[in-house]
Amino acid sequence: MNPAQRNEEALRFLLTRRSRPPKTLHAPVPDRAGLNEILTAGLRVPDHGKIEPWRLVVFERAALDRLAREADVYATAQGIDPGTAAKGASQFAQSPLCIAVIASPKPSEKAPEIEQMLSAGCVCLSLVNAALAAGWGAAWLTGWVAHDRGFAAKAFGLAPDEWVAGLIHIGTQSAEPPERPRPDVAALTTWVAE
């Protein structure tokens, strides 16, 4: 290893990064130029074969209000448990800005669908990290609004083979989140020397 290549600032960021609970996020949000920087950084992920098996949909405040209303109406019509329904709709009602990461698999002999799926997951985490590194609060959520095909297909304009990998909420944080227990590296790691 070349110690001159060690990036202490980046390593410190990764060792201390924490998502911000969406209910603690509010306006202001990044402007278009700031958001474009986050999107550009967020799409720098592993992508075997450079097939870009994902796309993004950015929902601003008025669109999020519309999604919250549509989620309420849909949940009532489908008989979704009121608590579950409210949790899904509030994700949009409370969010100042949301980026839907749409997994959009492509036919490929080089990149099996599972690799494409993992690449979409990488976009989700990369967007959260880019937003945090840019000084914003951010979190990755899903829930029934992402997984219920009847709602998600219309809400996010999904093609038949697409699905929602994540909903990335970005804004100004109103409170520092509490630290939470982290994984026990020793308990989760097997070392193989020979």
Q: Residues forming the annotated binding site for FMN?
A: 17-19, 44, 48, 140-142
Of the candidates 153, 130, 129, 143, the residue with the CA atom closest to the CA atom of residue 18 = 129
Residue 77 CB coordination number (10 Å): 10
- SS3 assignment for 31-43: CHHHHHHHHHHHC
Q: Which helix (H) or strand (E) holds 85?
A: helix 82-94
CB neighbour burial string for 147-168, b if at least 16 within 10 angstroms, e if fewer: ebeebbeebbebeeebbbbbbb
Helices H / strands E in the chain, number of each: 8, 5
Q: 């520092």: which residue's tokens?
A: 176
Bridge-based pairing state of the strands 163-173 and 54-59:
unpaired
Annotated binding-site residues read 17-19, 44, 48, 140-142
